[in-house]
Amino acid sequence: MKREDVLISPAEMGRQRDFTQRLRQRSEGLGRRPLAMVDTFGCQQNVADSQRIMGMLRDMGYGFTEDPGAADVIVINTCAIRENAEKRVYGLLGRLTHAKAASPEQVICLCGCMAQQQAVADRVRSSYRHVDLVFGPQALWKFPELLWEVYTRRRRVFSIEDEHGAIAEGMPVVRESRVKAWVSIMYGCNNFCSYCIVPYVRGRERSRDPQAILEEVRQLVEEGYKDITLLGQNVNSYGRDLEIGMDFADLLTAINEIPGDYYIRFMTSHPKDATDKLFDTMARCSHVAKQLHLPVQSGNDRVLQAMNRRYTREKYLGQVAYARSVMPELVLTSDIIIGFPGETEAEAMDTVSLIEQVRYDALFTFIYSPRPGTPAAALPDPAGRAEKQLWFDRLLEAQNRISAEIHQGYVGKTVRVLVDAESGDARWPLQSRTEGGRLVHLAGPKEAVGQFVQAKVLDSNTWALFGEIVPSEN
């Protein structure tokens, strides 16, 4: 696709701001401040999308509530990655019937990855008639126009047509923290891993212009943000569609030039596109946190091939070894799927042996969930749920032991952490993260929120470290 066709034009974005203005006038005419509730399921990309939805709602004059009964507008930003996430959304939609019955003027919107699927839209159309607006991730930037249509035409609106997707710059945003921020650097996915619904609902890969990303990061650093995570389904293919000879490592190098006291993190990296150049760049750039989320999914070559992952166990292990050779302090995490269709017990145990070999700091583990329309969903799947659960439990047991051992190794050490929030816990009133992203429950004054401090680690468990702030040495 030509770049002009990917970028939403400034004129079109201006049109959306006009709708925002009209909605603002409508809000002001109500004689009270209308309220919106935004409920988010799924990954960080969805969290980032919800922050844009909130930005648009704020500009339309809405305040925010978490009480569905008090909301004039409810937006449910959904996830389609596993069946469980979808079930929870249908459950929520069912419960919202009551809120809507009590206040028929309430507007209920369903957006995100579930909404982009035709089958879901059909089901909502016929069985969830209290839902007024359905739009996919590709239509996010049109939300003002779509909401205006719901109010003025007084009919249900469905906008799920654009499957390739675009890039919209300059959308407003409400960030929920003053310390951490998410910056999407690309959208969509071209990889079509055989189990995954994402490429069908988030369109083709498209990269934001480096200037726009640099400007956003620069502004965040100036505003005092200290922990910035670059987001993309596969950040390692950043720039391919731009054809300006810039890859993800080059983007990191450019961002690293921005002066200030901050960390840059990123996710997710696909191993098939992770290069030595990327690891060398991470090692060299002082602002780039030495943290890598490198999803392996399986430790067995036959399963990896059936998943269409396009790397082998050996190649993956080679990458991990290289990354650790240039960044000895690297914190490494991964995603694992147990019970891919046709996986045998021996193959699942290859995954357990891989995690024993790699010794990840932490894992995100999933039991395979068939997604209608993906190639894997059509494969025979002889192993039963109970059997997969046993394999899964063995994986968890191994990883929990490894995480606990790695965390135990921090006890007695002093580490630099960024305090990101208060926790509400009396013994450990602060929450903080190491450079590698490990959670440290911290004793110290609340004034430390937003600061880098030295923390002495006193205790640990499988999931976190516990420590206290100590005076810094210099």
Q: Could you tell me the smallest distance in angstroms from the CB atom of residue 201 to ligand 5AD?
A: 12
54 binds, among ligand 5AD, ligand SF4, none (CB under 5 to 8 A by kind): none
Residue 235 near ligand 5AD by CB under 6 A: no
Q: Could you tell me the smallest distance in angstroms from the CB atom of residue 337 to ligand 5AD?
A: 5
Residues from 356 through 375 that contact ligand 5AD (CB under 6 A) = 366, 368-369, 371
Residues from 304 through 343 that contact ligand 5AD (CB under 6 A) = 335, 337
Question: Between 208 and 270, whose beta carbon lies closer to ligand SF4?
Answer: 270
189 binds, among ligand SF4, ligand 5AD, none (CB under 5 to 8 A by kind): ligand SF4
Q: In the complex, which residue's CB is closest to ligand 5AD?
A: 335
Q: Could you tell me the smallest distance in angstroms from the CB atom of residue 468 to ligand SF4?
A: 39
Residue 148 near ligand 5AD by CB under 6 A: no
Residues from 64 through 83 that contact ligand 5AD (CB under 6 A) = 81-82
Q: Which residues are at the interface with ligand SF4 (CB under 6 A)?
A: 189, 191-193, 196, 198-199, 233-234, 270
199 binds, among ligand 5AD, ligand SF4, none (CB under 5 to 8 A by kind): ligand SF4
Residue 263 near ligand 5AD by CB under 6 A: no
Residues from 406 through 465 that contact ligand 5AD (CB under 6 A) = none
234 binds, among ligand 5AD, ligand SF4, none (CB under 5 to 8 A by kind): ligand SF4
Residue 381 near ligand 5AD by CB under 6 A: no
463 binds, among ligand SF4, ligand 5AD, none (CB under 5 to 8 A by kind): none
Joined together, the tokens standing for residue 351 give: 């995954």
Count of residues interacting with ligand 5AD (CB under 6 A): 12
Residues from 279 through 298 that contact ligand 5AD (CB under 6 A) = 295, 297
82 binds, among ligand 5AD, ligand SF4, none (CB under 5 to 8 A by kind): ligand 5AD
Residues that bind ligand 5AD (CB under 6 A): 81-82, 195-196, 295, 297, 335, 337, 366, 368-369, 371
